[in-house]
């Protein structure tokens, strides 16, 4: 998702609020993938990501006229809605969650540019370790890493999506990065 309001999004939402299916389809095509990626990166589970994505767009369909551009951009609004659905689902699933080992994850997108197999294996293991470290972060830290570092939103958009102050985003991101570095160093020590 771009970091600013895309031209036409406000118009699409107005049309969606009037029941325009073509407008909804255009809006869905524009934002479905980023919402899904966010939900997957927050949950680590494709099933949850799919359900959350569906829930987000069902909510948009039913309440497009409630969107207030003064409160933040459309991407920030969608991420905020997705965040709430993900956190609810994770809370419901908590007793049933097991290891989050999904090689189909967004973090596993490592291409093998003709390098030797050992280098590819090492890189894949490091990416997998990082994916697991991000998923192990507490949700408040995980969401700022996902939104700031992976989705490249600016602090103001993340603050809008999470309904908190920019200073809070900065401090959470600083702490999250420190926790990730700590986890990755511990992983390296265990591997040696």
The answer as to whether 173 is a domain residue is yes
CATH number at residue 141: 1.10.1740.10
The widest CA-to-CA distance across the chain, in whole angstroms, is 61
The answer as to whether 171 is a domain residue is yes
Residue with tokens 């420190």: 178
The answer as to whether 146 is a domain residue is yes
The answer as to whether 1 is a domain residue is no
Q: What's the pLDDT score for residue 118? A: 62
Domain count, the chain: 1
| Angle separating helix axes 21-43 and 46-63, nearest 10 degrees | 140
Mean pLDDT by 10 residues, the chain (192 residues): 56 91 95 96 93 95 86 90 93 57 44 54 70 89 92 92 93 93 82 66
Would you call 119 exposed, middle or buried from its count of C-beta atoms within 10 A (0-12, 13-18, 19+)?
A: exposed
Q: What's the pLDDT score for residue 20? A: 92
The answer as to whether 3 is a domain residue is no
What phi and psi values does residue 170 have, to the nearest 5 degrees? -60, -45
CA 109-115-118 angle, 5° bins:
85
Q: What's the pLDDT score for residue 167? A: 95
Token digits of residue 101: 């080992």
Determine the straight-line distance between the first and last CA of the chain, rounded to whole angstroms: 39
Can you give the residue range of the structural domain that contains 62? Answer: 9-191
Instruction: Please name the residue ranges forming H helices in the chain.
Output: 9-17, 21-43, 46-63, 74-93, 117-136, 139-144, 155-162, 166-191
C-beta separation of 49 from 40 below 8 A: yes
The answer as to whether 164 is a domain residue is yes
The answer as to whether 55 is a domain residue is yes
The answer as to whether 4 is a domain residue is no
Q: What's the pLDDT score for residue 4? A: 39
**Dist. CA 56–CA 32, nearest whole Å:** 9
């Amino acid at each position: 998702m771009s970091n600013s309001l895309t031209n036409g999004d406000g118009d699409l939402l107005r049309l969606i609020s009037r029941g325009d299916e073509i407008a909804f389809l255009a809006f869905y095509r524009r934002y479905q993938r980023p919402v899904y990626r966010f939900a997957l990166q927050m949950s680590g589970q494709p099933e949850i990501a799919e359900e959350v994505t569906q829930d987000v767009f069902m909510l948009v369909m039913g309440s497009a006229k409630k969107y207030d551009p003064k409160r933040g951009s459309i991407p920030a609004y969608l991420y905020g809605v997705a965040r709430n659905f993900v956190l609810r689902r994770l809370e419901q699933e908590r007793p049933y969650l097991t290891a989050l080992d999904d090689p189909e994850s967004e973090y596993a997108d490592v291409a093998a540019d003709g390098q030797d197999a050992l280098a590819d294996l090492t890189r894949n293991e490091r990416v997998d370790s990082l994916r697991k470290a991000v998923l192990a972060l507490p949700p408040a830290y995980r969401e700022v890493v996902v939104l700031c570092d992976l989705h490249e939103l600016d602090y103001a958009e993340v603050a809008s999506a999470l309904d908190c102050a920019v200073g809070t985003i900065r401090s959470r991101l600083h702490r999250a990065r420190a926790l990730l570095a700590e986890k990755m160093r511990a992983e390296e020590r265990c591997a040696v």
